[in-house]
Amino acid sequence: MTRGVAGLSTSLAVETVDAELCIGCGACTQVCPTGAIHIEDQDGVRRTIITGTVVREQPLLTCSECGAPTQTPAHREFVRQRLPDHMAALLDRELCPSCARQRADRPVVEQALVYDDEMETGVSIAC
């Protein structure tokens, strides 16, 4: 066995998975080099499946507008812990990305009109 970058073994390694730590975000499906991990959403439940075995089942939250499944409660809490309070409050509305875009669910930016006395024109700036 040889050592590679950062002291990792360059031989084939078997990764272990602690299913209780899974938040159902699906990041593992994107980085799995063999494609052995996938996520399945069905009947309001997200299943994390590794080589055909369901290793974790979690309920899915639903969009308050259209009822589409959005994310797991664990994933929402993971994101909430990393956001400032004013942004984390937006998560309570439970909107799917599509409904959030349709509602333009973004912070409102007030605009002020500033006048240039010499040119007698108004310029709009964000406050």
pLDDT in tens, 57-93: 999 999 989 999 999 999 999 999 999 988 887 777 8
Cβ atoms of 60 and 71 within 8 Å: the answer is: yes
Residue matched to tokens 């159902």: 24
Q: What pTM, to 2 d.p., does this model score?
A: 0.64
Nearest C-alpha neighbor of 92 from the set 74, 76, 75: 76
Nearest C-alpha neighbor of 112 from the set 122, 101, 98: 122
What is the mean predicted confidence (pLDDT) over 20-24? 90
**In terms of DSSP H, where are the helices of the chain?**
27-31, 73-80, 85-88, 97-102
User: What are the residue ranges spanned by the domains of the chain?
Assistant: 19-106
